Chain A
Amino acid sequence: MDDSLSQLRAEALTHLDGLYNLARWLVRDPAEAEDLVQETFLRALRGFHQFRAGTNLRAWLFQILRNTFFTQYRKRGREAEAVDPDVLDTMAIRLGPASGAGSPSGASSGTLSVDLRAALEHLPDDYRAVVVLADVEDFTMTEVADIMGCPVGTVKSRLFRARAILQELLRDYVR
């Protein structure tokens, strides 16, 4: 059997939770997240010949999921979210202390997990994906760049801007 298919079959399930986790953060709806993960595995099986055995299967699967989301799900009625730096700077300012909008709901819930979830969901898709990949899934910046299909500098820039937004939203928990 093809080596890459062997590796896919042997390892793929170990990445299922991580893929589903990212899918949930991207599409939020559990059923849609399942669809996204299923489509990811379908594409992986169909395209496994493009995968070089012995290389980073985990990053490759996340890349497929990310591509599937951005080419299909987000355009399926989901509003394209702004990634214009100026817009985000404005957002960060708007969410800052001067505006009085301290959290997505306008006020801290006082519960870290609730506020953290709300803050992450408040980020634009591209930023949330970078944060989940870099912080939760612990990918390197280079791997995140490969997965997101953009330069490393763009990843760092998105992460930095996401930090600015999160810092404001979570200022009760971080300084």
Chain B
Amino acid sequence: MDCPEARDHLAELARNRLEPEVAEIVRAHAAGCATCADALQVEVGLHALIREQAPRYSAPPALRARVQAALRTAERPMASGWRAWLLLHPWQASGLAGALAALVAVWVATGWLAADPASRLVSLAVEEHVEYAQEAMHRPPPNPAELLAALRSRAGFALGPLFPGDTEAPLMSTTTAELRGKPAVALVYRNGPGRYTTLLLMPGADVAIPAEDRLAIETFKPHRRVTSGKQVLFWKQNDLACLLVSDLDGPATAAFFLKIRKAA
């Protein structure tokens, strides 16, 4: 056994996790090699020092209580994400769009752009979104100009012109989110009772739109997929990557897409 090989085993040897015969070979090498013997001594000493003396931080009781509550309510697989999110973020429990954007952000960041398993998260996001959106239906639509102004000031990147909603599809809420460590924003429109559409925008410089499954809508060709009956469109405009998730059917989603796309 040479020094690099021996060094490779020092950490496990210091923790008594090597097979006895391998441990014996490493010890035999260290017995005849001052460098490796020193390294083993340092490894043993530092491991013990850190294990015994490094500060250990305990979770605050309030955090424990929140996590406990979130775990307790995680009974229904399709609902667990939203319920847990609201329990873990009680100060934003009224922030429907925040919750939605957080979920959308996660599934985009962790899956959909790279692979398909996130389809499950897409349906989770949309179904739960509808459930909570229905609870928010009694609220009158807020002032879209104020919503958009606030969003622009918080976004951290240029949003360009945005569809402010109209009488058919008022803008209900906006929020900032984070995608792959980059800022993003979400806008939630209400297309009717229990029917919502979420538009997610993020800087698009390094975001690739899938080349396949393009849907021709007038002169535009966004990538389209349907997940759990929900329409999803994905495209770029200006320097932004845009994701639209809608409860509407295909033609209505395409029509709504045009409103959003032409506003930009």
Contacts and interface: CB of A to CB of B under 8 A. Distances in A.
A170 B178 CA distance: 39
A20 B74 CA distance: 21
B70 A42 contact: yes
A38 B178 contact: no
Contacts of B124: 46
B54 A120 contact: yes
A167 B57 contact: no
B239 interface: no
A8 B71 contact: yes
Interface stretch (A81-89, A92-100, A102-110, A130-138): A130-138
B11 A34 contact: no
A20 B186 CA distance: 30
B47 interface: yes
The range of chain B's interface size is 35 or more
B69 to A, nearest CB: 11
Contacts of A24: 57
Interface string B71-106: 110110100110011001100000000000001001
B70 A45 contact: yes
Contacts, number: 147
Given A76-B178, A141-B11, A9 B71 contact: yes
A159 B13 CA distance: 14
Contacts of A170: 46, 49
B55 interface: yes
B50 interface: yes
A53 to B, nearest CB: 14
Interface in A153-175: 153, 156, 159-160, 163, 166-167, 170, 173-175
A159 B58 contact: no
A106 to B, nearest CB: 21
A136 B50 contact: yes
Contacts of B103: 46
Contact of A13 (B57, B60, B71): B71
A50 B89 CA distance: 24
Interface string A53-79: 000000000000000000110111000
A5 interface: yes
B192 interface: no
Classify the secondary structure of B's interface with A: helix
Interface residues of A, number: 56
Contacts of A33: 57
Contacts of B71: 8-9, 12-13, 41, 45
A9 B47 CA distance: 32
A76 to B, nearest CB: 7
A34 B88 CA distance: 10
Contact of B67 (A13, A46, A71, A117): A13
Contacts of A140: 12, 15, 17
A74 B178 CA distance: 13
B139 interface: no
Given A38-B67, A43-B106, 11 more contacts: A9-B71, A17-B58, A21-B58, A34-B60, A42-B81, A45-B71, A75-B182, A136-B56, A141-B11, A160-B39, A163-B43
22 contacts: A8-B71, A9-B74, A13-B64, A16-B67, A17-B59, A20-B58, A24-B57, A41-B88, A42-B84, A42-B88, A49-B77, A50-B117, A113-B55, A116-B55, A136-B50, A136-B54, A153-B8, A156-B8, A160-B10, A166-B46, A173-B49, A174-B42
Top 8 closest A-B pairs, CB basis? A75-B181, A20-B59, A46-B81, A135-B50, A24-B57, A45-B84, A38-B88, A174-B45
